[in-house]
Structure 1
Amino acid sequence: MNAPNLVKIPEGDLRERLVVVGNGMAGCRAVEEILARDADRFAITIFGAEPRVNYNRIMLSPVLAGEKQFDDIVINTAEWYVENDITLVSGDPVVAIDRAAQTVTSASGRIEAYDRLLIATGSEPFIIPVPGKDLAGVVSFRDLDDVDRMLAAAANGGHAVVIGGGLLGLEAAHGLSLRGMDVTVLHLMPTLMERQLDEAAGWLLKSELERRGQTILTGADTAEILGKDGKVVGVKLKDGREIPASIVVMAVGIRPSTALARQAGLDVERGIMVDDHMVTSDPAVMAVGECVQHRGICYGLVAPLWEMCRSLADAAVAAPTGYTGSVTSTKLKVSGIDLFSAGDFSGGADCEDIVMRDAARGVYKRVIVKENKLVGAVLYGDTADGSWYFDLLKREEDVSDIREALIFGQAFAQGGGALADPNAAVAALSDDAEVCGCNGVTKGTVVSTIKGGACSLDAVRSQCKASASCGSCTGLVESLLKLTLGDDVKSGPKTVCKCTTFSHDDVRRLIVEKELKAIPQVMQELTWKTPDGCASCRPALNYYLLCAWPGEYVDDQQSRFVNERMHANIQKDGTYSVVPRMWGGVTTPDELRAIADAADKYQARLVKVTGGQRIDLFGIKKEDLPAIWGDLNAAGMVSGHAYGKSLRTVKTCVGSEWCRFGTQDSTGLGIKAEQMTWGSWMPHKFKIAVSGCPRNCAEATIKDFGVICVDSGYELHVGGNGGIHVRATDLLSKVTTEQEALDVCAAFIQLYREQAWYLERTAPWIERVGLDYVKAQLFDDPEAVAKLAERFHYSQQFMQDDPWARRAAGEDAELHQHLAEFRPFPTMQMKEAAE
């Protein structure tokens, strides 16, 4: 997203010339604060070293992990610079400052004059001075280019060594691990993240990361980075151990980037020295961010930087308030693990430690009290009370009255020892309590934004940026919305994505009403904000069109996730797993022989019986997928659709044929249900089970559609699911024959397909619309079941006409061509992650 020289300052412009050196988070945030106070005060030019617009460096880790794309982490788009008359000179860093002439010179030779200069050069990674540090394959983790280098290395697999067990190091290790690399973390100190965590929390973090497959070596002192032919091949420790590596990530720390300021003759110690108004030793030059030193301290966290930016803007265009320093806290999510620390947690003889450990939940809490005041806190696994503890710490509040309940959190402590309304705990926070650490947003700012008209979470995010980055403060923001607006909170309808203002229901309705039959047509007719959509809306639109116009709409394979396109589950090493469908969990010697032959022929590295009674073949190469399905098809085994938003499994027990408790032929009914419903695309994955008696061995009461066989017939249950949030089914109806059970099953699925939102399981769909509504749609009209079932069977003839089911028809060459030519949709960079 290059955007050089977007605006030329017109001749005769009487505004003061503000030149900003640094297009990062601090520099642009300072500009935002200035614009908010006086948008017409300065003619602004921003120089950036990277050839990009301003983005959120905090979110580089999700980009590395594949959870976000670059567009998702952009803070200020190219349009923002244009709209605010800002000249952006990107990819051309400033290399010299002439304070006497009040000009800056860039690497390309461009000279720009200034009245006020703002230095926001940030920090640079510290590279430990060991032999081999300059080898190819040794990278830092500081910008998007570093991420690209790591992704290139991960594409080849192999071993990665991360030197540094701080936040950045652990995030790099997590991302590379998710990308399929074997990762070893080397940390010099005995405790991971020792600046943020005490020994106990650090041990818990280390144990959890090791459980996830990473190797963590603490007390590891690097002696040398080993190389061959100019490339890194390993790391040698001072104790003699050698660890193989095809990439080494240096993440041992950062230091203020001060070379430019030092060269210009500004006062520099560890950082560029500034006063309380962020002014350097030259009154015309300001500095902000990680490059500065204020009252002897250099800050590396986001919240102090935002406070500096506010003070700088006040001093530049308004009544100066002055920055007096920051009391810092750290609320993090490391590899999906919630962590929080604040203040001084070193403890000591004059301090009192209060500790709670909950091994079952993986929770550790420690607060440090000194002279009846909270001076430090460390939270692992449950950080919900972090803001409250930090507020107590900053205000130096006497906690003697709540001493006994302090460790249990705000709701318990302020409820007099009993659990209270969690919203009341949020209400008790002071207005200057920090809600969003990533963007430095206080409770007062969030409430003011809500009162100013932001009546939904998305509106708050867009206006004040609270909850717009890592999302860990989303619960707090939602509580503030509820407290401020009561029942006026606009929680819905939820839009499909940020590309549109339409809800899922609106899109589905308009596709039918306007007879829209192509994704570009939908986007044009419904005024999509983006030219080609995104990874959220394209799969949804493809599904809605496929559901609305079976037989007319041509399925857009490029708008499906990789697992659905390949009919195979992509694994972390880039190979695939293949799951042949076994009707009702029943197989034959010929089918088993075909599976065994396929596993041998295509060198499956693992053959596993799945939880859904299916056999899974792992380690299949992409180019072998058409051929393996051809061989399995020869035995009559079709694609399992085991990975799509479709029917997954039909679980059965042996029923009346074998079980002494069985009342009906549950296996036979399960096979009929599976053969009827396989290949049916749905809003989300869909599971069926048929239990032969009320003992419910097939666990039908936690499935999307479950059948319990009884003496008088069949009880039909809907809306269940297992997993993290288990939901038992609701009883939909009772029928007496197999055919009635199949008809209601088909009708229920069709109703769900036609009315649920994309990626909405049956459980939340039923909770949203109500069981009575579903029953009314199915049974109030005596013909409803038949009509819905008819529509279901009509669409099935197109959905089961699957290219993977036509191997034996001699169409392998066509499919090979499809796989060879497939490329992800170019502008949306669809995520290739499995569910």
Structure 2
Amino acid sequence: MNAPTSFDKASALREKLVVIGNGMAGCRAVEEILARDPERFDITIFGAEPRVNYNRIMLSPVLAGEKTFEEIVLNTADWYAQNAIELVSGDPVDHIDRTRQTVVSRSGRVEPYDKLLIATGSDPFIIPVPGRDLPGVVTFRDLDDVDKMLAAAGQGGNAVVIGGGLLGLEAAHGLSLRGMKVTVIHLMPTLMERQLDEAAGWLLKTELERRGQTILTGADTQEIIEKDGHVAGVRLKDGQEIAADIVVMAVGIRPSTRLAKTAGLDCERGVMVDDHMVTSDPNVLAVGECVQHRGLCYGLVAPLWEMCRSLADHLTGSPSGYLGSVTSTKLKVSGIDVFSAGDFSGGDGAEDIVMRDAARGVYKRVVVKDDRIVGAVLYGDTADGNWYFDLLKKAEDISEIRDGLIFGQAFALGGGANADPNAAVAALSDDAEICGCNGVSKGKVVETIQAGACSLDAVRSQCKASASCGSCTGLVESLLALTLGDEVQAGAKTLCKCTSFTHDDARRLIVEKELRAMPQVMQELHWTTPDGCASCRPALNYYLLCAWPGEYEDDQKSRFVNERLHANIQKDGTYSVVPRMWGGLTNPRELRAIADVVEKYDAPMVKVTGGQRLDIFGIKKEDLPAVWADLNAAGMVSGHAYGKSLRTVKTCVGSEWCRFGTQDSTGLGVKIEQMTWGSWMPHKFKIAVSGCPRNCAEATIKDFGVVCVDSGYELHVGGNGGIKVRATDLLCKVSTEEEVMEHCAAFIQLYREDAHYLERTAPWLERKGLEWIKAQMFADPDAVRRLAARFRHSQKFMQDDPWAKRASGDRSDLHQHLATVRPAQTEYA
């Protein structure tokens, strides 16, 4: 049946559209058609895989354990049903009969069509070497391939990836994170040679080797070695043998043209199409990696989206025409920023503008010809990639901004280093690409926001920008700010500018994914900076300490300088030192030690603190190790007056001396301090024990306060006596000192495990709510006991900190530790 020359929605039957291929290109073409004319076609989609359409770009994060299959699904079963699309999955088309205008599936199903869309994608290229068909040799094209790699990784051992291109490196990264020892074999001397020049390729190779992968460039595979009917290794032509429990072939792809060729359609490298994606048969169209347009075949996603738009325009009566694509590439390996666009090979008349910053691991190269950008390679800092790409696609004259071009958009356009980053996004044209994974332009994002998407999540759900790899999240947030101003619906605050994850996300994923090292966290969670910043490093260090006590080794470089030196820096550059006095108590030995230190190091002032301790001011930085050694020799340890930790336990004299006292507040305060000292927390933590309701120790403005009463003890939480004063909330009442200790430990541990880094108990309690805290502690009769047990377990390791050890006999270990302390490369103020 031929398509009608005119289409009357009210009276004519819908045209029958059959799509061969349930992948990204085929379904995107259908989406574009539905957006233009949802009533035009009766649609059937044949898919080779027994599943719905998913984002193949995100197979790498699935392999790496960063996403699940459900998280990369693009079109759910509900989408097919809601749009009256019949999905025939797991039953690929085997034959096209153009005379009868039917397709025949592998199971024998015959489906007629008025219009046929071929979206068969590409086939992985298998190098013709002996052993290529052995069990254990896999490609990396679909979810079944990922499942095979995951099964191999579950057994551990060695993996060899043949191919150092984009896909091969992503496969290597995922297998490495899964615990395999990975070797990458690449024929060419430069990794990703189609996207990177030699300098950027070398930087990439160096970084991957630093992460534990073995990278062999200029290596030619001779054969796959077999043992007991399974792959056992790879032999190179130079004789080198590499053991392998799995071999991943990732050397390239070829357009899948078998169906088109056997149907008699014109094919060369790919299925030949015109600017409207029509093949040599006017009723058959093709789109995606299987096509050849104007002599070119494309293996990246952005051109596919442009093809789909032109195809949909043609089928719905408003032809636009596809003129070809200029492509850009981003590497999706966590923590490595690589961007490439256009032609970086140079040639006659071309000039290179290059910037190298070895300390930051940044390399930028922009290739200019006739005052226009023709290519760009960015490594380590890709923030301006979209801008360069926009200038390249439009062939804009850059002569007036050439001097500042290499320093990025803000600098080149006159804003300098401190320019508003939103202004740079505002300068992008409406057709500038924002989300490469889903082919979303700036104009589309703005249109979506103006239509009512007032938050990042809303934009993601409605136009898919930032919904895949997340690298364009910052751009989308800038567009939200530019379009809506103060009307933007605030989402959860990210941990810092280095990541799109929140504090809660980071804490949860550290435990769920069993991340036990800071570089591992940054790789897994897509950190956009090589080593983090002054905001995220201390936070991650604390979260790792809290999650894995005794396993994770405290990173002193990630601590604030005051915590590393156990001293508070003062405005004249000297330091103050606060030794601990348990519950505010002291003795002649300790007082003599303090007096000796004051005289020996010429400290100009000693002051009683609000926490009932003595603060020694004016100590020079170089004297700090010796000061602490002298104090420790007298049995005095750090008071942590400068740490994100327990500061003090303030007490009154209680029933031992005071005529109003109801309980031994001083003795209880000492016990609590001895239990909790040395514990690292999200923020400073203060405790007080008042011996009676007169509350002389001010327990009701402390993080944890105990008020002694005739019947026992009132426990108060969430107080703050700082700039924003907050009185405590009553948590509960208990009868014994043992219950006070247990509840104190449990509350601290709940705070430690849930609060954000640098969040005091007062804002934490207000954010979570007192009822939530009570539910965590009291809904289960054993919850307090379990929390307290976890606290005591972590304390075993925290109180092993040499700075914090109590004096007992020989203190040479502490003295040695203090003597070797050196300032870190970056001192967080």
When the two structures are superposed, what TM-score results if normalisation uses the length of structure 2? 0.67
Residue of structure 2 equivalent to 1:328: 327
Q: Distance in 2 between matches of 1:187 and 1:376?
A: 24
1:663-674 to 2 correspondences below 5 Å: 663-665=579-581
> Aligned runs of 1:164-313 on 2, under 5 Å?
164-313=163-312
Between the aligned partners of 2:790 and 2:76, the Cα distance in structure 1 is 42
Match of 1:67 in 2: 66
What's the counterpart of residue 366 of structure 2? 367
Q: How does 1:39-188 map to 2 (within 5 A)?
A: 39-188=38-187
CA distance in 2 between counterparts of 1:115 and 1:69 reads: 38
What is the letter of the counterpart of residue 336 of structure 2? I
Counterpart of 1:799 (choices 758, 779, 787) is 787
Task: Report if aligned partners of 1:385, 1:409 keep a CA contact under 8 Å in 2.
Answer: yes
- Mapped pair 1:763 → 2:762: no
Local SS of the residue matching 2:27? helix
Which letter maps to 1:224? E
Would you say the 8 A contact 2:749–2:790 is kept in 1? no
Is the CA contact (8 Å cut-off) linking 1:171 and 1:335 kept in structure 2?
Answer: no
Deviations 1:393-419 (A, max 9, x none): 111111111111111100111125453
Quickly say closer, same or farther: Cα 1:803–1:365, change in 2 above 3 A.
Answer: closer
Aligned residues of 1:331 and 1:386 also touching (Cα < 8 A): no
Deviation at 1:796, TM superposition (A): 2.8
Residue 762 of structure 1 deviates from its aligned partner by 3.3
Matches within 5 A, 1:588-667: 663-665=579-581
CA contact (8 A) 1:222 1:238 kept: yes
Structure 1 residues 393-408: aligned runs within 5 Å = 393-408=392-407
Distance 1:640 1:444, change over 3 A: closer
The superposition leaves residues 561-583 of structure 1 with CA deviations (integer Å, 9 ceiling, x where unpaired) of 4869xxx99x99xxxxxxxxxxx
Cα offset for 1:469?
Answer: 0.6
**Shift, 1:703, TM fit:** 5.1
Question: How do residues 503-518 of structure 1 correspond to structure 2 at under 5 angstroms?
Answer: none
Gaps of 5+ in 2: 1-10, 495-501, 521-540, 553-558, 568-575, 586-612, 618-623, 629-637, 653-668, 674-678, 706-714, 720-746, 794-829
Q: 1:400 to 1:766 in 2, by over 3 A?
A: farther
8 Å CA contact 2:80, 2:87 repeated in 1: yes
C-alpha separation in 1, matches of 2:367 and 2:188: 23
Distance (Å, rounded) in 2 between the aligned partners of 1:735 and 1:84: 66
Q: Alpha-carbon deviation of 1:244?
A: 0.5
Q: Secondary structure at the match of 1:379?
A: strand
Q: Secondary structure at the match of 1:347?
A: coil
- Post-superposition CA distance 1:655-682 (Å, at most 9, x none): 9xxxx9663247999xxxxxxxxxxxxx
Query: 2: CA distance between counterparts of 1:262 and 1:702?
Result: 74
Identity of aligned residues (%): 65
SS at match of 2:332: strand
Contact 1:692–1:708 (CA<8 Å) still a contact in 2?
Answer: no
Amino acid at match of 2:384: D
Measured in 2, the distance between the counterparts of 1:743 and 1:365 equals 54
Distance 1:615 1:409 in 2: 38
Deviation at 1:453, TM superposition (A): 0.5
Q: CA deviation at 1:65?
A: 0.6
Say if 1:730 and 1:791 are closer, same or farther in 2 by CA, change over 3 A. farther
Q: 1:284/1:349 Cα in 2 relative to 1: closer, same or farther (>3 Å)?
A: closer
Q: How far off its partner does 1:314 sit? A: 0.5
Cα 1:740–1:145 change in 2 (3 A) is farther
In structure 1, C-alpha distance between the alignment counterparts of 2:238 and 2:716, rounded to whole Å: 63
Whether the 8 Å contact between 2:116 and 2:283 is mirrored in structure 1 is yes
* 1:282-681 correspondence runs (5 A): 282-415=281-414, 417-492=416-491, 561=512, 663-665=579-581
**1:196 Cα deviation after fit:** 0.9
Output the CA distance in 2 between the equivalents of 1:691 and 1:380.
52
**Residue 37 of structure 2 corresponds to which residue in structure 1?**
38
- Contact 2:647/2:685 (<8 A) preserved: no
What is the CA–CA distance in structure 1 between the aligned matches of 2:62 and 2:777, rounded to whole Å? 44
Q: Is the 8 A contact 1:332 1:340 kept in 2?
A: yes
| Cα gap change, 1:708 to 1:358, in 2 (>3 Å) | farther
Structure 1 unaligned spans of 5+: 1-11, 496-503, 505-534, 541-558, 573-610, 617-638, 644-648, 670-689, 717-721, 779-784, 806-835
Distance 1:167 1:464 in 2: 26
> Deviation at 1:536?
7.7
User: Residue 640 and residue 372 in structure 1: after superposition, are their counterparts in 2 closer, same or farther (change >3 A)?
Assistant: closer
Matched, 1:707 2:701: no
Following the alignment from structure 1 to structure 2, what is the Cα–Cα distance between the partners of residues 184 and 741? 60
SS in 1 for 2:80: helix
Aligned 8 A contact 2:265 2:280 in 1: yes
Whole-angstrom CA distance in 2 between matches of 1:132 and 1:291: 28
Give 1:458 shift. 0.6
Deviation at 1:420, TM superposition (A): 1.3
- Superposed CA offset, 1:286-306 (max 9, x none): 100000000000011111000
SS at match of 1:387: helix
Q: Which shifted more, 323-332 or 278-287?
A: 323-332
Q: Give the paired residue count.
A: 627
What is the letter of the counterpart of residue 362 of structure 1?
A: G
| Secondary structure of the corresponding residue to residue 334 of structure 1 | coil
Q: Which 10-residue stretch deviates more, 119-128 or 793-802?
A: 793-802
Q: State the distance in 2 between where 1:184 and 1:798 align.
A: 45
Structure 1 position 351, deviation (Å)? 1.5
How far off is 1:769 after superposition?
4.7
Deviates more, 1:416-425 or 1:147-156: 416-425
Q: Is the 8 A contact 1:426 1:480 kept in 2?
A: yes
Do the aligned residues in 1 keep the contact of 2:700 with 2:716 (CA within 8 Å)? Answer: no
1:763 maps to amino acid: Y
Q: CA deviation at 1:309?
A: 0.3
SS of 2:359's equivalent in the other structure is coil
Does structure 2 conserve the Cα–Cα contact (< 8 Å) formed by 1:746 and 1:789?
A: no
Secondary structure of the corresponding residue to residue 337 of structure 2: strand
Match of 1:17 in 2: 16
Deviation (angstroms), 1:269: 0.3
Residue identity in the other structure for 2:756: T
> Residue 603 of structure 2 aligns with which residue?
none
Q: Can you list the C-alpha shifts for 1:507-530, whole angstroms capped at 9, x where unaligned?
A: xxxxxxxxxxxxxxxxxxxxxxxx
Q: For 1:733 and 1:703, how far apart are their aligned partners in 2?
A: 15
- Displacement of 1:759: 8.0
Tell me the secondary structure at the aligned position of residue 331 of structure 2: strand
Task: Report the structure number with the largest CA radius of gyration.
Answer: 2
Q: TM-score, normalised by structure 1?
A: 0.67
Query: For the residues of structure 1 that align with 2:59 and 2:438, how far apart are their CA atoms?
Result: 15
Checking the alignment, whether the CA contact within 8 Å between 2:386 and 2:433 is kept in structure 1 is yes
Amino acid at match of 2:144: D
1:792/1:746 Cα in 2 relative to 1: closer, same or farther (>3 Å)?
A: farther
How far, CA to CA, are the matches of 2:432 and 2:485 in structure 1? 21
Against the structure 1 CA distance between its residues 734 and 796, is the aligned structure 2 distance closer, same or farther, given a 3 Å change threshold?
A: closer
